[in-house]
Structure 1
């Protein structure tokens, strides 16, 4: 199974909100013909209407892939539309948060290959990272195809199994919100030190974005990058004495925050 098969047999996108739109844009830019894509969405955007895809039309009889990108609360209504494809020839890839593989197997059947994926919001600008795991019916061809599809919006990593998905959700899925809050808090701290609010926000946004890009591009690990910019007895060291405090600094705070997110994910998945 490869993208050629998706071109020939068709790809169904169930739900086309922000994440679905980002992926569709990546596929089309990558050369997948619009006429090979069927999109089912009750409230299509103007952008989607202009893509040339089959929009809310009769679906193909034997699609290579169905990608599920509907909101969890819409799942019960949406899944019966694709249950006929559960015989084993169609790969199902889900980017819907919180819905377990077992939930899909109950509706699609045990013969259906299912890949569950957890992307994050930087996918909207092609800078996401997505973790994937498959059920017992997936093989290397299925996993490679899922990687190819999801790489349209950023990096892709494979998990050992679905048991790691709640931790991934807590780190990379929810993680962008932690970074956005860091920008907010850093700007507020700058304002408290006498900077105008707009300047403090501009400095904070650019600093966090630039440091993240440097961390991704540099050969050194983040710990070494931190050491590189920390002169003994200097201003950065004074701040890090507080931020790296074992009781009230980043390490303890983030460990508690990520644990709380993971635990909530486990509760919602029951």
Structure 2
């Protein structure tokens, strides 16, 4: 693995900031990180971290051995067109843009009949902002074992990673861990609202809801038992938990979650097809 790569971020939004924070001092010095961010108001915060930043593509990009495209999907094609001329033969490219298929991006980056195959598509999630992310990764054939080691180390700096086979599997990752934090936040909202409806003060309901979800997640992660077994241990026959779970079952919670995830995966597939047109 390269000891200290030079890394470029094309796009300097929240996800880029989270990744850069994880990389600095672990994968490379802060001074080895170069950020291309068109919003010049954001430049001082990057420089305060000891990182280089520019508003337009410049020669510094060509000196970076790893490029991370962290722009919105609708801006990806324009970003590639603006930077492609500075790609070097040994540049390893990562994309964290949702919905842009790896082969589509490879075609934009490469020349006619010569797609850029040294490419890893990444699907991180927002808990990466606090170093607790979950990222799915899929690599094209031009990515070497050494490249994989580097990419894994980079993304593990902000959480856990899982390698999958292809874009279809990344659609499933998107439905589970990519969109998953929103499902959890919705459940937390519902717990807080339910606590308030039962008479708890708002702040107390929030405190208890957050602690409950965090504690249950930690127990599930650290226990040798499955979540199903842990659930059964909390549920006494004829008790309060059983009464609550019966309502969830009558409402079809499991099938509702499954349908929601299918909808997310299908939308990811549609976005991929749209971007490739």
With normalisation by structure 2, the TM-score equals 0.89
Structure 1: stretches of 5+ with no match in the other structure: none
2:145 alignment partner, one of 140, 148, 152: 140
1:256 alignment partner, one of 256, 259, 265: 259
Deviates more, 1:24-33 or 1:161-170: 24-33
CA gap of 1:75–1:122, structure 2 versus 1, over 3 A, is: same
Let me know the Cα RMSD of the aligned residues. Answer: 1.8
SS of structure 2 residue aligned to 1:155: strand
SS of structure 1 residue aligned to 2:225: coil
Q: How does 1:83-102 map to 2 (within 5 A)?
A: 83-84=84-85, 86=87, 88-102=89-103
In the alignment of these two chains, the number of paired residues is 264
SS of structure 2 residue aligned to 1:82: helix
What is the rounded CA distance, in whole Å, between the counterparts of 1:104 and 1:121 in structure 2?
Answer: 23
1:12 alignment partner, one of 5, 8, 20: 8
Alignment partner, residue 34 of structure 2: 38
User: Once the 2 structures are TM-superposed, how far is the Cα of residue 227 of structure 1 from its aligned partner?
Assistant: 1.6
Stretches of 4+ moved more than 6 A in 1? none
Deviates more, 1:29-38 or 1:13-22: 29-38
1:28 alignment partner, one of 24, 31, 34: 24
Q: How does 1:85-234 map to 2 (within 5 A)?
A: 86=87, 88-109=89-110, 110-234=115-239
Native 8 Å contact 1:87 1:111 kept in 2 = no
1:266 alignment partner, one of 262, 265, 269: 269
Between the two structures, name the one with larger relative contact order (CA 8 Å, sep ≥ 6). Answer: 2
User: Once the 2 structures are TM-superposed, how far is the Cα of residue 97 of structure 1 from its aligned partner?
Assistant: 1.2
Alignment partner, residue 50 of structure 1: 48
User: Once the 2 structures are TM-superposed, how far is the Cα of residue 31 of structure 1 from its aligned partner?
Assistant: 5.4
User: Once the 2 structures are TM-superposed, how far is the Cα of residue 242 of structure 1 from its aligned partner?
Assistant: 1.9
1:241 alignment partner, one of 231, 235, 246: 246
SS of structure 1 residue aligned to 2:3: helix
Q: How does 1:53-72 map to 2 (within 5 A)?
A: 53-56=51-54, 58-72=59-73
Structure 2: stretches of 5+ with no match in the other structure: none
Native 8 Å contact 2:107 2:116 kept in 1 = no
Native 8 Å contact 2:19 2:155 kept in 1 = yes
Native 8 Å contact 1:100 1:269 kept in 2 = yes
With normalisation by structure 1, the TM-score equals 0.91
User: Once the 2 structures are TM-superposed, how far is the Cα of residue 218 of structure 1 from its aligned partner?
Assistant: 2.0
CA gap of 1:60–1:72, structure 2 versus 1, over 3 A, is: closer
